[in-house]
A and B are shown apart, each in its own frame.
Chain A
């Protein structure tokens, strides 16, 4: 099975590769269009600003490739910024159009004047299951998450989307937000599975085996 991680020059992606190495799964880090098209599964990672993310994808001609990959029906996994880019738009330092594969928007967590919580949301937080997805991977994720619901989040912006897209929910800064989304062959997590210990590795494994 050919699994590729999109390398579009944004953020620290090597730890995702290391997580797969640890799981004994071969993945390629690539921005080559042919390799991406030939992949059986694709991962869109990302750390950093929405603006740099979307402009880098466009720079390498990868925005249309990711859209096409989704249309092909093959499994696509988005992580952190990679999840946010899949949506319609983000209001991070402006108004940026995303890939529009799922409807929804990316908004900023409100600041706490009393400093009772900080931005970014940078900590382990628990996720809850929002809907029962009857697909094989949906069922497996539910089992995994019920074993250990703590995952590591680092983000200042959160996704607001229709309930039907939300697989996993989390709360911070008085907001309930999408921690995990699923739409057909598209799966994405706001938290970092490669930084969430065994709990995160289980989800990566589920994506590979799913």
Chain B
């Protein structure tokens, strides 16, 4: 009987110091301070954390480093940083700040040798290949870069094989079509990649309820499930404790130009015309359910 477990990972999309969610019509919805969510999830029993920088640029880089440094002081589970990793120096910097792994997408597509170099210097276990996959009309999957903005004409299957050969120790696989929809993971995509490569695969994009995660683990050999909204919207009210926090946010807003996104959700509990597309649940609720349905889960 196997004792190894499937990992339940929280994926935090970051802009500046904040946890955000990209909402189609409303821009970027701010859900709260990223650090608060990271700590909360750790205390609630999450297995791993992924911090995805959504507006990666030289200017923004320091915010993510700050989040990691702060988190690393009190959170003792594996952490991965994704977004804006372009050079060996970036990797070194992020690993020293407290990350265990870096996930690379755009920079690796532009220069695949970066993966080989990084694996040689830091070890394969630190190097994750982040693959954002777009399903085309002909049923094939195409690699996209720059956080789901640019197509590349590269086939995902070919790319996945290549990055593993170059030394990537893990694949973070995101379905662009499913991400943010709450309609479930792209099971076909996940299984195709998982059965082809010898390294662990994290499925990301689409989880809308705990049953979606169970479906993923029942129907694919994915090693881990990355989850966003299902957790974020469950904990955001608790984390953004009413009076005190909103007051401090208002003060912040009045004093300076806060270019971090739409704050309506925090203030008023909603953001524009979009309803919540997910059924939220807590980390322990999800884990218990998965364990009850026969999955190896750490509780």
Question: Which A residues lie at the B interface, using CB under 8 A?
Answer: 11-12, 14-15, 18-19, 21-22, 47-49, 111-112, 115-126, 150, 152, 154-155, 170-172, 194-198, 200-201
Report chain A residues within 8 Å CB of B196. 115
CB-CB under 8 A for A18 and B72, given A118-B199, A195-B77 = yes
Q: Are A121 and B4 in contact (CB under 8 A)?
A: yes
Q: Are B223 and A123 in contact (CB under 8 A)?
A: yes
Question: Which B residues lie at the A interface, using CB under 8 A?
Answer: 2-7, 42, 47, 72-74, 76-78, 95-96, 98, 100, 122-126, 169-170, 194-201, 221, 223-224, 298
- How far in angstroms is the closest Cβ of chain B from A22? 6
From B76, B96, B197, B200, name the one whose CB has the most chain A CB atoms within 10 angstroms: B76
Q: Are B3 and A126 in contact (CB under 8 A)?
A: yes
Report chain A residues within 8 Å CB of B78. 152, 154, 195
Q: Are A172 and B4 in contact (CB under 8 A)?
A: yes
What's the dominant secondary structure at chain B's contact region? Answer: loop
Contact partner, B5, options A14, A115, A125, A201, Cβ 8 Å: A125
Could you jot down 22 A-B contacts, CB within 8 Å?
A: A11-B122, A12-B100, A12-B126, A47-B125, A47-B126, A115-B195, A115-B196, A118-B199, A118-B201, A120-B124, A120-B169, A121-B4, A123-B4, A123-B7, A123-B223, A150-B5, A155-B125, A172-B3, A195-B77, A195-B100, A197-B76, A201-B76
- How far in angstroms is the closest Cβ of chain B from A42? 21
Q: In whole angstroms, how far apart are the Cα atoms of A197 and B73 in the complex?
A: 12
Q: Are A118 and B76 in contact (CB under 8 A)?
A: no
Report chain B residues within 8 Å CB of A22. 73-74, 76
Q: In whole angstroms, how far apart are the Cα atoms of A15 and B196 in the complex?
A: 33
Q: Chain A: which residue is nearest B7 at the CB level?
A: A123
CB-CB under 8 A for A195 and B5, given A120-B200, A124-B298 = no
- How far in angstroms is the closest Cβ of chain B from A129? 14
Q: Chain A: which residue is nearest B170 at the CB level?
A: A122
